[in-house]
């Protein structure tokens, strides 16, 4: 299953997502959700750390990262992807949940 988060850590989207996501699921940060991928000391909530410390993967859309001036500020454990790779992830995971 694929989970997308499109709000910054100031909203409750990421918190709710992490509350219900399973370890085999995939997390994709899109739009304002890319602020959730800011590296530990830059991220206000720091909430994504527990997810990144596990075996699971988090992705962030590169175009959204660049648009917000965040290139180089994203946690290196977060994999930056283009739209083609986002589509591939969606195809690979027929079920998805949007947290917003």
Partner 1 sequence: MKKLLFVQSKPPHGSLQGQEGLDAILAGSAFVDCAILFSGDGIYQLLSRQHTDALASRDYAATYLALADYGVDQLYCVAADLKQRSLTMADLLLNPTLLDDAGVKALLHGADAILDF
x/- letters, 23..42, toward partner 1 (CB under 8 A): --------xx--x--x--xx
Residue 2 contacts by C-beta under 8 Å, 6 or more apart in sequence?
Answer: 25, 26, 28, 89, 90, 92, 93, 95, 96, 97
Least separation in angstroms between CB 32 and partner 1 = 3
Q: Which range binds partner 1 by CB under 8 A, 18-26, 51-59, 67-75, 89-97?
A: 67-75
Q: Does 8 bind partner 1 (CB under 8 A)?
A: yes
Classify burial at 45, counting beta carbons within 10 Å of its beta carbon; exposed 0-12, middle 13-18, buried 19 or more.
middle
Q: Does 52 bind partner 1 (CB under 8 A)?
A: no
Dist CA 18 CA 44 (whole Å): 16
* Residues making contact with partner 1 (CB under 8 A): 6-8, 10, 31-32, 35, 38, 41-42, 44, 62-64, 66-71
């Amino acid at each position: 299953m694929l989970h997308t988060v499109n709000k910054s850590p100031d909203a409750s989207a990421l918190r709710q997502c992490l509350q219900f996501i399973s370890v085999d699921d995939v997390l994709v940060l899109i739009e304002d959700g890319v602020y959730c991928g800011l590296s530990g000391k830059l991220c206000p909530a720091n909430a994504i750390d527990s997810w990144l410390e596990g075996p699971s993967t988090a992705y962030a859309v590169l175009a959204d990262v660049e648009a917000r001036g965040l290139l180089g500020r994203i946690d290196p454990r977060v994999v930056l992807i283009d739209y083609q790779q986002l589509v591939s992830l969606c195809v690979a995971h027929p079920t998805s949940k949007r947290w917003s």
